[in-house]
Chain A
Amino acid sequence: MEEEQRPRKILVVDDEPDLQPLVLQRMRRGIRRGQYQFLFAGNGVEALELLRAVGDIDMVVSDINMPQMDGLTLLEQIPSVDPNIRAIIVSAYGDMANIRTAMNRGAFDFITKPIDFTDLQVTIDRTLEHLAEWRSVLKARDQLVSVQNELSIATQIQQSVLPTQLPQGAGFHLHASMEAARSVGGDFYDTIPLEGGRVGLAIADVSDKGVPAALFMMASYTLLRAAAGTPDAGRTMQEVNNVLTETNVAGMFVTMFYAVFDPVSGSLTYANGGHNPPVLLHEDGTTEQLPLTGGVALGVMSDLDYNVKSIDLAPGDTVFLYTDGIPEAINGDEEEFGMERLCTTLTAAKDRNAHDVTDCVLTDLQAFVGDTPQFDDITCLTLRFTGAVP
């Protein structure tokens, strides 16, 4: 509001001293009403000094021929003080050469001598109006930039909580990757060291995108860490689900696969809460999807049971956990990457370690989608069981 109400500051640059009282007299109504405030300089050098010293001058009305620095040179210098200052040039009637030069150097408009004060006022008002619009566009742009910055910070925070040093031990190898989409999404993975050398493995995907999804993701991630103390994957999911549901006002949900892996025996006990079933890749290259456990996505309804299933990994088995950003990635023809391609890639990577398996999938995926922008996070967690050490 203050910004709107302050008088617009107009710097008049002319070496003719009689102009000053004339301007003040003819524009006195606007001055009295608080519309304008006039400042005066006798040449370009003085004008630049004033522009710098005052700092918030809105526009300049300048003569062309002046001692020390003429109006055309001044026009060139104004943007170095503030590129958003608008200038009107005053030229001799019919002096098209100078008018053209002035316009080429960024003058907003021109008036001719002898000055017609009605015309001057119309031109000043038009310039100020343009300036107000320009400023509101700049402001909107700045706000957009700041929202985008906040979103990219949110993405960074999300990324930074995810573990980068995954538990490693004898008999297994873990690798994870998350590529956040441009908009803030809600994927996450986690690897949680548990007692007895066991490891909790999680992958999850929050419904929808944006700031609400990011907040829900952080809540889910933290709750899972807190609930993972129990070696029972089903009970862990149940606890996370109950708290998420109680506090869920936005009707959001998160699909989550959580497994407790025992590197000594190779057993993987898991509960699937509405998440895409991970792929089990055998040493011979065959693949299968881990059967669902009948669990509902978390955050929807409290007091649900999460049943577990258990499999025994054989040495050489790989378990590939992923979010739907992988099978649902699309290419230029809007074809999905799909489970079939994913499984073909995994089969080809059957002899690789967890890191290389992830790389193979991401490389094939990249080759498939090409330049097509992806709108979903692409997240995966790979467990390679090499076998218990005797």
Chain B
Amino acid sequence: MNVNTETSGNSLVVALDGRVDSSNAAEFNAALETATADSDLGVVLDCENLQYISSAGLRVILTTAKSLQSSQRKFVICTLSNPIQDIFVISGFDQIINIQGSRAEALATMEA
């Protein structure tokens, strides 16, 4: 699991690589917290290279979404592979988290 952060326009783009499961969910949480702290920009979580995410990882995304929401920051996830898109649809989280097909679309919603 790897997390890379860059600033693009008025957003923080966090690219997530590899696998997130209960063995490294705490690490993922810490990486997201570090990446999004000291900023008031909205956050795009790009999952293009995310291979697997377990429920422990979903919990981290959910907690992040909630904490950003509570400080009026936007949060968008993008570029989900089909199996990972399925996980979001089955869990119903696609209804409470903004999911976009590509990074460009995600950034466009941040401008709005």
Contact = CB atoms under 8 A, between A and B. Distances in A.
A292 B95 CA distance: 13
Contacts of A295: 92
Contacts of A294: 92, 95
A71 interface: no
B96 A300 contact: yes
Contacts of B92: 273-274, 294-297
Interface stretch (B10-18, B40-48, B59-67, B73-81): B59-67
Nearest to B66: A251
Contacts, number: 57
B91 A208 contact: no
A295 B21 CA distance: 23
A207 B29 CA distance: 14
Interface in A91-134: none
Interface residues of A, number: 25
Nearest to B89: A292
B68 interface: no
A253 B62 CA distance: 9
B50 to A, nearest CB: 16
A255 B23 CA distance: 20
Contacts of A300: 62, 93, 96
A226 interface: no
B90 A275 contact: yes
Nearest to B23: A375
A251 B91 contact: no
Interface string A269-288: 00001111100000000000
B96 A209 contact: no
A274 B56 contact: no
Contact of B96 (A205, A210, A255, A301): A301
Contact of A296 (B22, B59, B91): B91
The CB with the most chain B CB atoms within 10 A, among A206, A251, A273, A375, is that of A251
A108 to B, nearest CB: 40
Nearest to A252: B59
A276 B91 CA distance: 8
B2 interface: no
A324 B52 CA distance: 13
A277 B55 CA distance: 16
A207 B96 contact: no
Contact of A208 (B25, B66, B89, B95): B25
Contacts of B95: 294, 296
A98 B55 CA distance: 63
B24 to A, nearest CB: 12
A295 B94 CA distance: 10
B96 A292 contact: no
A297 B63 contact: no
Contacts of A210: 22
Nearest to B88: A274
A183 B95 CA distance: 31
B56 A251 contact: no
B33 to A, nearest CB: 13
A208 B59 contact: yes
Contacts of B63: 251
Nearest to A209: B22
Contacts of B25: 208
A268 to B, nearest CB: 19
A7 B62 CA distance: 55
Interface string A16-50: 00000000000000000000000000000000000
Interface string B90-104: 111101100000000
Nearest to B63: A251
Closest 3 CB pairs of A and B: A296-B92, A207-B55, A274-B91
Given A255-B90, A375-B22, 16 more contacts: A207-B55, A208-B59, A251-B62, A252-B59, A253-B55, A253-B59, A253-B91, A274-B92, A275-B90, A294-B92, A296-B91, A296-B92, A296-B95, A297-B93, A375-B21, A375-B23
Interface of B: 21-23, 25, 55-56, 58-59, 62-63, 66, 89-93, 95-96
27 contacts: A183-B22, A206-B55, A208-B25, A209-B22, A209-B56, A251-B62, A252-B59, A253-B55, A253-B58, A253-B59, A253-B62, A255-B91, A273-B92, A274-B91, A274-B92, A275-B90, A277-B90, A292-B89, A294-B92, A294-B95, A296-B91, A296-B95, A297-B91, A300-B93, A300-B96, A301-B96, A375-B21
Interface of A: 183, 205-210, 251-253, 255, 273-277, 292, 294-297, 300-301, 324, 375
